[in-house]
Amino acid sequence: MTFMPARRTLLHHEKHDRSFNCRRTATATERAERHLLFALPGSAAFDGLDRPWWQLAGAAAATLLQTWAARRRRRRDLAQIDRQTLRDAGIDPGIAAFEAAQPFWRPSLPLRDIGR
């Protein structure tokens, strides 16, 4: 069975008013979207979206390069730590050696098992 919405009968002034067709009220979905998107003051999710795409791409590239440099530094420092210090810190030396050998573009692995 299909749902058939009830027909709305137009009032006399609505039949002859040409501007009636141009006016449209917001639907409940549109009101909810407006509330969610624009009623959040200072939402960081929408910061910078008014900028051109090339500025956003430049900022994303700079962030990626900073992340890669930080990974490279951390892995270089991890390779210089001796086995006894790693064991004292609760890090398996084999996992530390594996992590230190990873290229900078690969995400970091957890060095400690949190569940222990």
pLDDT band, residue 14 (cuts 50/70/90): low
Could you read off the pLDDT of 46-74 as tens digits, one per residue?
A: 666 777 888 888 888 999 999 999 999 99
- 0.75 exceeded by pTM: no
Could you read off the pLDDT of 20-42 as tens digits, one per residue?
A: 555 556 666 666 666 555 555 55
- CA–CA distance, 101 with 83 (Å, rounded to integer): 15
User: DSSP labels for 66-114?
Assistant: HHHHHHHHHHHHHHTS-HHHHHHTT--HHHHHHHHTS-TTSPPPPSS-T
Comparing 17-21, 42-46, 102-106, the range with the smallest average pLDDT is 17-21
pLDDT(1) > 70: no
